[in-house]
Amino acid sequence: MSHNPHPPLAETAPVPLEEGATPDADLENAAVIARQPIVNEHRAVYGYELFDRSTRATAHTAASDAALLFNALSYAGTEALVGKKTVFINCTHDSLAGGHLELISPEKVVLEVPPMPTDDVPLIEQRAVVLQALKERGFRLAFPHQMLRRAYASWLPLASFIKIEMNTLRPELAEPLIKFARANTRAEMIAEKVETAEQFERMSALGVKLFQGFWFAKPALVQAKTIRPAQATIIQLINLVRKQADAAEIEDLLKKDPTLSFNLLRFINSAGFGLQVEVTSFRHAVMMLGMKKLFRWAALLLTTSKEGAPPAVGSTAVVRGRLMELLAAELLPPEEFDNAFIVGVFSLLDTMLGISLEKALDTVSLPQNVVDALLNKSGLFWPLLELTIACETGDDAVFARVATELHLSNRQVNWAHLQALDWAESLND
């Protein structure tokens, strides 16, 4: 019996998941993603393979592939799932041609490609054109070891990884298989489904450097608490993009629905999008994303959307945002107006999500002065938010104190409040 020189890797996540298990009933309506680490020979995490474990997930399809990737980037937040590590995504051949792949930065993504349903060589060679295009765009491709056959000769030069399934490979075939792979590909080997120390030691002795399996860590669940805009608003966004509306018009729609704007900022600042700078304004997000990607993002959001937060909560958030913006116009330079709006609309994220505001804000990048107002009740925007809430609740004492501190008259504040209410009402017409 071989000795295990190192303890198995400890994987942390909210809920451990046995292979093939299903999530609990209380996760029924959540986006539930399982991740399993891929580690090097020193047990350091190289990347994570993601699996859809939502109870609504049934067959593995192009649509489920798109939803998994979209949820990983938009809802759970890539930082929460994979940090800066490489992410491995199982694909179907239909999903490899899907537009959702245009939304992500390919440098940190490995697409796991399944075999074709038959060994029809002309069909396989035809599919090689799609794989070549993905490779040229910067994606890396992983093939199972079953593709190390003559029929897939046109695919093998495209492989960045070959995943060797230990539960299907006879031990005596491991060495000749690896020699064949090294002679015909430039791929790195990954031993997967490793369940024993003997399997690890055998593959390590053959020069394999990457490993995945129960012996290191079982897949663990990450439950993505979702915040989904109303479908009608998403459709409005799609229509604006299709008619090539200007950025200002799209920005106005984002201001109408705080859940829509929250999703957009969280998505575009995720590691999977690949930006080197943080995007903190709606207009900047629209410009950075571009019309084509914005359309694809909205379309995917529509396909995974349910009804959002209660309408009254969204309306209150919109009024807060607009009032904050109008008050900022009295006191602050123009470059701060958008941040004032964000403080207002995001001040109710805890109610929309049903989690603490701190946890909600962990999933989106925001300027520090915005975070200070929302979490610490301090900084540039806090007095404006405090005054805004006083207007909303009718707290005369706070209203009088803050208005005096800001040197704003009752007339200025009340007029701004009426304008904000009117503006929010007009958005629903």
pLDDT beyond 90 at 254:
no
Confidence of residue 364 (pLDDT cuts 50, 70, 90): low
Pairing of strands 159-165, 109-112: unpaired
Residue 344's Cβ-count burial label (10 Å; 0-12, 13-18, 19+) is buried
Asked whether the beta carbons of 373 and 346 are under 8 A apart, the reply is no
Of the two residues 426 and 319, the one the predictor is more confident about is: 319
User: Selecting from 3.50.50.60, 3.40.50.300, 3.40.50.620, 3.20.20.450, what CATH number does the domain 15-224 have?
Assistant: 3.20.20.450
Residue 105 CB: number of other CB atoms within 10 A?
14
Q: What pLDDT digit, counting tens, does each position of 214-227 carry?
A: 988 877 776 655 55
Of the two residues 95 and 31, the one the predictor is more confident about is: 95
- Distance from chain centroid for Cα 289: 15
Asked whether the beta carbons of 262 and 301 are under 8 A apart, the reply is no
pLDDT beyond 90 at 206:
yes
Over residues 379-390, mean pLDDT: 94
pLDDT beyond 80 at 423:
no
Q: What is the pLDDT of residue 10?
A: 36
Q: What is the pLDDT of residue 28?
A: 42
Q: What is the pLDDT of residue 92?
A: 84
Q: Where are the domains of the chain?
A: 15-224, 231-303, 311-427
Of the two residues 360 and 123, the one the predictor is more confident about is: 123
Percent of the chain at pLDDT > 90 equals: 34
Q: What is the pLDDT of residue 280?
A: 72
Over residues 396-422, mean pLDDT: 90
In three state form, how does the secondary structure of the chain look?
CCCCCCCCCCCCCCEECCCCCCCCHHHCCCEEEEEEEEEECCCCEEEEEEEECCCCCCCCCHHHHHHHHHHHHHCCCHHHHCCCCEEEEECCHHHHCCHHHHHCCHHHEEEECCCCCCCCHHHHHHHHHHHHHHHHCCCEEEEEHHHCCHHHCCCHHHEEEEEEECCCCCHHHHHHHHHHHHHHCCCEEEEECCCCHHHHHHHHHCCCCEECCCCCCCCEEEEECCCCCCHHHHHHHHHHHHCCCCHHHHHHHHHHCHHHHHHHHHHHCCHHHCCCCCCCCHHHHHHHHHHHHHHHHHHHHHHCCCCCCCHHHHHHHHHHHHHHHHHHHHHCCHHHHHHHHHHHHHCCHHHHHCCCHHHHHCCCCCCHHHHHHHHHCCCCCHHHHHHHHHHHHCCHHHHHHHHHHCCCCHHHHHHHHHHHHHHHHHHCC
pLDDT beyond 80 at 213:
yes
Which residues are CB-contacts of 196 (< 8 A; sequence separation ≥ 6)? Answer: 2, 215
Residue 339's nearest CA partner among 348, 329, 349 is 329
The mean pLDDT of the chain is: 79
Q: What pLDDT digit, counting tens, does each position of 33-74 carry?
A: 788 899 998 888 898 898 877 644 456 666 667 667 766 665
Q: What is the pLDDT of residue 13?
A: 36
Over residues 329-350, mean pLDDT: 86
Q: What is the pLDDT of residue 43?
A: 85
Q: What is the pLDDT of residue 143?
A: 97
Q: What pLDDT digit, counting tens, does each position of 120-178 carry?
A: 899 999 999 999 999 999 999 999 999 999 999 999 999 999 999 999 999 999 999 99
Asked whether the beta carbons of 53 and 221 are under 8 A apart, the reply is yes
pLDDT beyond 70 at 358:
yes
CA within 13 Å, CB half, 152:
23
- d(CA 252, CA 208) in angstroms, rounded, equals 54
Over residues 230-236, mean pLDDT: 69
pLDDT beyond 50 at 284:
yes
Q: What pLDDT digit, counting tens, does each position of 312-333 carry?
A: 676 787 788 889 989 999 999 9
Confidence of residue 7 (pLDDT cuts 50, 70, 90): very low
> Residue 224 pairs with which residues in a beta bridge?
31
Confidence of residue 82 (pLDDT cuts 50, 70, 90): low
Pairing of strands 31-40, 45-52: antiparallel
Q: What pLDDT digit, counting tens, does each position of 13-37 carry?
A: 333 333 344 444 344 445 677 888 9
Q: What is the pLDDT of residue 201?
A: 94
Confidence of residue 276 (pLDDT cuts 50, 70, 90): low
